Amino acid sequence: MKKIIILLTIVTICTSLLGQVPRKMSYQSVVRNAEHQLVRDASVGLRLSLLQGSATGTEVYSETQTVTTDANGLLRTEFGGEQGFDAIDWAQGPLFIRTEIDPDGGADYTITGVSKLMTVPYAFHAHEAGTLDYEQLNGLPELFDGQWESLEGVPMLPSDLSDLDDSQQLLLPQGNLTGQILYWQGDQWALLPASSPGQMLYFCDGIPRWGPCPDGIEDVDGNVYPTIVIGEQEWMAENLRTTRYNDGTEIEYPQTDLDWWNNTTGAFAWYQDDTDWGEIYGGLYNWYAARSANLCPAGWRVPKDEDWTQLVNFLMDEYDIDNAYTNPDALGNGLKTCRQLNSPLGGECDTNVHPRWNSHHTHYGKDLFEFNALPGGVKNPYGIFATVGTNGHWWSTTESNEDNAFRRNLNSMYGDLSRFQYNKRYGLSVRCMRDVDTSSGE
């Protein structure tokens, strides 16, 4: 009997009418046989089970179906709603979905794999939720007792400012407009511009701003980026496209190839010097800009080489996935956006409109982790732009030697996330990240 291999599994919540709690999930998978051939237009036996706690945890729900794949080997169905589904305790996560398939349409199943549900079905939580006292909540804030000594990370000030002589100065930004606000952003002082009449002051991740907090992380230019938590790291889910450091200083944009070559203080470019390309793929920054502590928004950083390694190791361990360049199911294809020319996934994934990956007969993006990696190309040290649609390159701040630094690469023709050295004068994409503590949520 042939072993069925599920290359891509997508589970979503199926909403219902009249504001009722949804009681089913939609499920779809691309199905291949042991020879990696698509199982097209075939009636297959399917058993879906929910496991609680781990990939080998307790089975809390199971149902069987007979489903027909389409011409692209894609099966679509809904599951849930049968006896036992209402009894699932959604709060006792994590939950995993186990898929078993019989290619002949019967019940002689081959266990094809187990994958973790990437999101919590909030509506199912709400259906089961009761009420809690305030004291039962986790993660309650520690109330400030009003004492300066109780604060952490406060700047050190002299005991008496009158003791300073003319050679000693407090390194604080100088305001020039009434209403500007001076605040501490973790490692330096910064100025918040004065507000317009009627604006309200909000604190977003500890940083003050006028107006509501954005749904994501905002750079100094006002660009807002969605983010994704992977393990104990939070990553931007788009490439950086700021034109300024987070202290407001302009990043140099060299006007000639010679100026680009000579820059060792920090520079960037838009692909083909076209802002339209920059809007969809982000900027291309040389390493001297990427190493700056001020390139990313306050509290975020350009990853070190070890941060990239931590990302790869977590995904390999958590999802039992390898990083082999020849494997179409490898980690790199899971990080890529599914937008690709001639993508076998069809729908919005199959597109010739940028941003997207170039076509390949074996390797295609699946966006399994919502990382949404895009192929922004490069600007080489001599000022030549190349490989948009084929290559995505991202800097680390870690030097390999005097002239080179480490970076990560995804290629439309391979399945891995590779590690190489590049000359520091290259212009590459940047993804900002930060460490997060996930222990309280487990």
Q: What is the mean pLDDT of residues 376-387?
A: 97
Highest mean pLDDT among 10-14, 102-106, 147-151, 353-357: 353-357
Residue 224 CA to residue 368 CA, distance in Å, equals 22
Q: Residue 250: which pLDDT band, with cuts at 50, 70 and 90?
A: very high
How many CA atoms lie within 13 Å of 45's alpha carbon, on the beta-carbon side?
12
Q: What is the mean pLDDT of residues 353-366?
A: 97
Q: What is the mean pLDDT of residues 140-163?
A: 64
pLDDT digits (tens, 9 = 90+) for 157-182: 555 555 555 554 555 666 767 778 88
Given this model, what pLDDT does residue 230 score? Answer: 95
Q: Would you say 46 and 69 are in contact if contact means Cβ atoms under 8 Å apart?
A: no
Residue 200 CA to residue 211 CA, distance in Å, equals 6
Lowest mean pLDDT among 51-60, 202-211, 272-281, 320-329: 202-211
Q: Who has greater pLDDT, 167 or 369?
A: 369
Q: Residue 15: which pLDDT band, with cuts at 50, 70 and 90?
A: very low
Given this model, what pLDDT does residue 266 score? Answer: 98
Q: Residue 316: which pLDDT band, with cuts at 50, 70 and 90?
A: very high
**pTM given for the model:** 0.57
What does residue 10 show for φ and ψ, rounded to 5 degrees? -125, 125
Residue 93 CA to residue 120 CA, distance in Å, equals 8
Lowest mean pLDDT among 119-123, 177-181, 217-221, 332-336: 119-123
Write down the mean pLDDT value for the chain.
Answer: 83
Q: What domains are defined for the chain? A: 5-128 (2.60.40), 179-213 (no CATH), 224-441 (no CATH)
Determine the Cα angle at 23 with ends 54 and 9, to 5°.
50
Given this model, what pLDDT does residue 90 score? Answer: 75
Q: Would you say 28 and 10 are in contact if contact means Cβ atoms under 8 Å apart?
A: yes
Given this model, what pLDDT does residue 282 score? Answer: 98
pLDDT over 90, % of the chain = 50
Q: In whole angstroms, how far apart are CA 150 and each of 142, 146, 153, 235?
A: 11, 8, 10, 31
